[in-house]
A and B are shown apart, each in its own frame.
Chain A
Amino acid sequence: MSAASQALFANRWLPVLLVTPLALLIVVFFYVPIIQAFYWSFFLERPFGGGSIFVGWANFARVLADPQFWQAGRRTLLFMVVGSSLAVLIPLILAVAADRAIALSQPARNVLVWPKGVAGASIGVVFAFIFNPFVGILAPLNHWFPGIWNPGIDGTDAFITLIAAHVWGGIPFNFVILLAGLQSIPRTMHQAAAMDGAGPWRRIFDVQLPLIMPQIFLTLVLEFTESVTSAFALVDTMTQGGPGGATMLLVYKIYTDGFAGYDLSGAATQTAILMVFVILLTSAQFAFLGRRISYER
């Protein structure tokens, strides 16, 4: 209906009226908070309405000089790279398998979307229990090799638990998108490749994967943002940032600085930095990766 513009209605005020409710909510609860985060990052904000003083770049200098900020930044980056690679790779392998006409394909398509109904915080609570060093599934291992597994003390163990929970929750969306991509590949493509002598294994790499590059790219982009921003529920229910800051991701640090430490300026400054990072990351991915992928079908 966008094709023929003469078919559109020409009312002047009706569309304004229609878009206003949503636009108002978005201005108040999206744009105002974003502007305020940048505004606060240049002011020393006192909690409980104690007024504010303009301090220029002092907040940024303070945050950037803080080793804890850099540690949280590195942890966030590591979580982003490892977490989102696995959260795309595992659903990709599952989607390629589920695309075949085998008995398990239908039950798998059903079961693999279930995590969508389990909240991040519930996943965290459950995984914290399953990987509990004293009563969890790895407790017998500790019995034979004392101290080999303890997410409460060992930072690496805690990080692995966090990633396992993150990937579990990320399977449904990525699986559905990638499978939809695989299924939209015309059968004739497979047949033509088979005629040319490409076996079923070879066709995965030479036909299927190149043709669903747009979907792989898209899930990766969304997964990057998702892993930077939505790990809060997992960290809060599983590790609270510990042990020793090993799982202190930036979203969680912003929360603790702002709500527990009442350091509003510091939290707002870190929010501003994180937002710029996410925006740059997304744009860079579209600029560099997006261009190399042919969207032709």
Chain B
Amino acid sequence: MVENAHSLNIAASLVLLLGITYILGPLYLTFATASQSYEYLLRSGLAWIPGDQLFNNIARIFTETRIPLQMLNSLLVALSQAVATCALSFLAAYAIVGFRARWAGVVFALILATIMLPLDIRVITTYQVASNVLAPVNWLLDATGLNGVIGEVFGAPLHLEWSVLNTHFGFIAPLVAHGTGTFLFCQFFRTLPADLFKAARMDGAGPVRFMFDILLPLARTPFAALFVLTFLSGWTQYLWPLVASSTPDMQTAVVGLARLSPDTDGAVPDFPLIMAGALIVSIIPLAMIALLQRYLVRGLVLSEK
């Protein structure tokens, strides 16, 4: 179709140029300032052209702050969150779609409800639960009167206590308790032809064999998409690692970065150092986006449908 859309194309180019500037501008200014010295910042403010202090500032991040150690925390948390989300969501989705279970619809709805109320909104009581995960068991023991019996027989009622705060497991578990992955896999399984099942059964494959030998290899793309999506979300989490960690050595890099700017009354904070920190902390997820963009876009689109 040949048609004169010149004015529209020019307008579209301008819009895209503005959009790209809006995204890259702050990133460029971060980079430029990270490569200047504190004295330069005091003298001329925000840097528009890069200087020669980038490696110096990065070296200071490595020697003066805990960000390197905190990046290891972030890496561990983001990786295990991604692996756990992929594995548990795959199993749950297979249970919901692959079997003739009457409860499947209800369980699916209960899992999906998690998307509506994110962790940030219920952080107070999630913190309380994480400080003693076994509290509901204690409550059940009390409510059923079982604890009275235990108290009579053993001399004291049972009171269980298990805090997951300030542990890597505690950072991950509340974030894995989320429905996006299950939703994504369910959507994918439903696109598979029913004949696949029949053929597998005719060949004598049981449900476990079917899962490992047929479903798992087929689901490589949704796996990759969900992995990238969850890794990025785990790396960029802020509120939960902030409240769930009580020592700087357990904090994640994003939390450590936010703690770099102290409340200096009147004095200008050491922005070149902070910007160098922002660069270092964002480098792993940005590299991941650059390399695995295909899967990220696929994941975003799949999680919507």
Contact = CB atoms under 8 A, between A and B. Distances in A.
Interface of A: 1-5, 7-12, 14-19, 21-23, 25-26, 28-34, 36-37, 40, 90, 93-94, 96-98, 100, 102-105, 107-108, 110-130, 132, 134-137, 139, 168, 171-173, 176-177, 180, 190-191, 194, 199-201, 215, 218, 225-226, 228-230, 232-233, 236-237, 251, 254-255, 258-259, 264, 267-268, 271, 274-275, 278-279, 282
Nearest to A40: B125
Contacts of A116: 232, 285, 289, 296
B96 interface: yes
B17 A104 contact: yes
B51 interface: no
Interface in B114-132: 114, 116-118, 120-130
Contacts of A254: 123-124
Nearest to B288: A117
Given A104-B13, A116-B296, A137-B46, A278 B117 contact: yes
A117 B96 CA distance: 32
A110 B15 contact: no
Nearest to A215: B304
Contact of A278 (B116, B178, B232, B260): B116
B3 interface: yes
B156 interface: no
Interface in B159-204: 173-174, 176-179, 182, 189-190, 192-198, 201
B90 to A, nearest CB: 9
Contacts of B178: 26
Contacts of B94: 15, 18
B97 A127 contact: no
7 closest Cβ pairs, A-B complex: A117-B285, A119-B236, A97-B12, A18-B95, A15-B95, A7-B197, A33-B125
Contacts, number: 334
Contact of B3 (A127, A134, A139, A200): A200
Interface string B205-241: 0111010000000000000000000001001111100
A3 to B, nearest CB: 5
Contacts of B297: 113, 176
B190 A1 contact: yes
B149 interface: no
B262 interface: no
B190 A275 contact: no
Q: Is the interface of B mostly helix, strand, loop or mixed?
A: helix
Contacts of B176: 22, 25
Given A104-B13, A118-B285, A232-B238, 11 more contacts: A14-B95, A21-B92, A30-B122, A104-B12, A104-B17, A108-B20, A112-B19, A117-B285, A117-B288, A139-B45, A255-B243
Interface residues of B, number: 113
B91 A22 contact: yes
B111 A22 contact: yes
Contacts of A93: 15
A117 B289 contact: yes
Nearest to B41: A135
A36 B125 contact: yes
A200 B133 CA distance: 59
Given A127-B26, A136-B45, A19 B107 contact: yes
Interface string B83-100: 000001101101111111
B232 A117 contact: yes
Contacts of B198: 4, 7
Given A1-B196, A229-B120, A15 B99 contact: yes
Contacts of A201: 7-8
B254 A122 contact: yes
B15 A94 contact: yes
Contacts of A115: 23
Given A26-B177, A135-B268, A32 B136 contact: yes
B30 interface: yes
A232 B120 contact: yes
Contacts of B135: 32
8 contacts: A1-B98, A15-B98, A18-B94, A21-B92, A25-B173, A34-B122, A94-B19, A259-B243
A237 B258 contact: yes
Given A237-B258, A267-B124, A108 B92 contact: no
B301 A28 contact: no
A163 to B, nearest CB: 13
